[in-house]
Structure 1
Amino acid sequence: MTLYQEYSVAAQTAFAGLDDAARQADLKRSVADLPGGFAKKVVSGRAYWYYQVKTPDGELRQSYVGPDDDATRALIQRHADPAAKLARQQLVRLGRAAVELGCADIPPKHARVIERLADAGLFSAGGILVGTHAFLAYQNILGVRWSAGAATLDLDFAHAGRNVSLALPENLKLDTRETIESLQMGFVPNQKRTSFKKTDEPDFDLDFLTSRGRGGDEPVTVPRLNLTMQPLRFMELSLQDPVRSTLLARSGPIVVNIPRPQRYALHKLLVYGERPQGQRTKARKDLAQAAALMDYLLLHDAIDIAQLWVDVNARGPGWRRRLGEGFEMMLTLYPDCDFKGRLDQALARVP
């Protein structure tokens, strides 16, 4: 029994090429790559350039670009450069071709939210896409299609909540709440402002998460992101050492941060027992995703998953107990996968 099917060589090659091109473009990304236009203003006798975008509700929003000098004019020229526009169009075509060959894409309404947050700088400031959308992204990274656990309606984002200054210049702040409001999609914040719910789609939520610290379950606010996050136990495992990858959407590729797959898999085992009784369906999905990833990783990256297994067990009795509970239930649900035997073999090879 296997919980995934491998992509064709053509699909794997298509995604690899797109991912490289999208990430290279993202490294060079600036305000000139965003939809909108430039406007020059004269203030106290000096000329300055602003970048302006019209929101869906018709409001014109401007952000400062720089003085009217050579560097700013070069940025403006880049925005008007036909070659740059052709390069962006080529990325869209490459993404659609990869989807046609069998790679996984994300729903347009989800892509719209993720892309807007990416444009606002959430991922550049250390934000991480977690939850099922990360699980979907692993399909393209690993070149496989999961047989279960891929259905999703909500979007989960996480941030470590600390050291934001390492990612953001001192004079820059991100307004995550305003960015969500600018979508004009009907998202309403909950009382704690850690989640945004869509009134006409009760299952389409935007959840913002972080690791649990000394403050317990008290929401964590990061003023420089204008964001409040809900702490969760064991979340730090997914937040450590994330990777960059590309999501496929009809509107074009979106480069995001996601957890490393082995960390995601073991985190799902850990949180299985944390789900309340009313979330048994989500708990089963946690195990389905962990099982699919471990089925792949124990064949292709067995040492990495075994080393992380040792690390997690060394973090204390609470970690060991939860990991063991999730693993035992996974064995019960997927008896034909021989997870225990394969993991034991990998653990025996850990230095």
Structure 2
Amino acid sequence: MITLEHLQQAQARIADTLSPTPLVLDHALSDQLERRVWLKGELFQRTGAFKPRGALNWLRTARPEELAGGLGAVSAGNHALGLAWAARDAAVPVTIVMPENASPFKVAGSRALGAEVILHGDINEAWALMHRLVEERGLTLVHPYDDERIIAGQGTVGLEILEQAPEASVILCPIGGGGLIGGIGLAVAALRPSLTLIGVEPAGAASMAHAWSRGGPVRLERVTTCAKSLAAALVGEHTYPLSRAHVHALAAVDEAAIHRAMRHLLYQAKLAAEPGAAVGVAALLEDTVALPPAGDIVVVITGGNLGREELEDFL
């Protein structure tokens, strides 16, 4: 069972390589809401997203037999980049299966880091292929979110927020498969339980809300969103109970709201974030979340990996 101690150990384990990311004050949104809104800049992390935290923690706790046959993963892109980067220094081969509609920017970046990238079907078909490759090639699957070592690494984001934002009363965090918010929730529950944690999903990929309504992880038959980094069709056996234990509320934002949030981040906050990173800001702009009456607001900006042709859709 993952605990605060695992998060703290992960923080110490990766600290020599991964630096804390800054909190950036969103002046325009702070003026609009008449309280300080801080953006946790995970787009400034290595490979442009929070994912190297979990990947590096996983690699540095891996047993030799887990590495012997190489690693495999399914990813919309950010996990692929983080794992390929972490594995390159360890000289461990990585095979990634991405959906066919994956970001060309992330595909190229993962290949540049040495990963074998296979484009295949939608997210559900990508998973089916990876499971076959694990059997055929003897790969060790490194799950993008439903792994305790991955969750512990991502939870270091929460430890940093609590250190950096002592006056925060609420954190808004994007949800894909739930690994990041699961780790942040552990940190919050242990160190500042009075703080409110809200998860935000794209309406077309609300897999955590679907799990909450069904009493456990249930696969979405169809996922449709511009926020590809959040396009997990199924939340995890670890991440679901963590969310139920520590997440106070869920919110969903539609595609138009994500587009408005992207433009806000680009033109007002001056951050070139990706769509999946914009959903927390979208929830604030659309007033879709019930906030505590006072205190600072922290929004996790999970990544900034998108190419020019993708960025043009939001200009």
Q: TM-score range by the shorter chain?
A: under 0.3
User: 1 or 2 for the larger relative contact order (CA 8 Å, sep ≥6)?
Assistant: 2
Work out which of the two has the higher radius of gyration on C-alpha atoms and give 1 or 2: 1
In the superposition, the TM-score normalised over structure 1's length comes to 0.25
Q: Which has the higher strand share?
A: 1
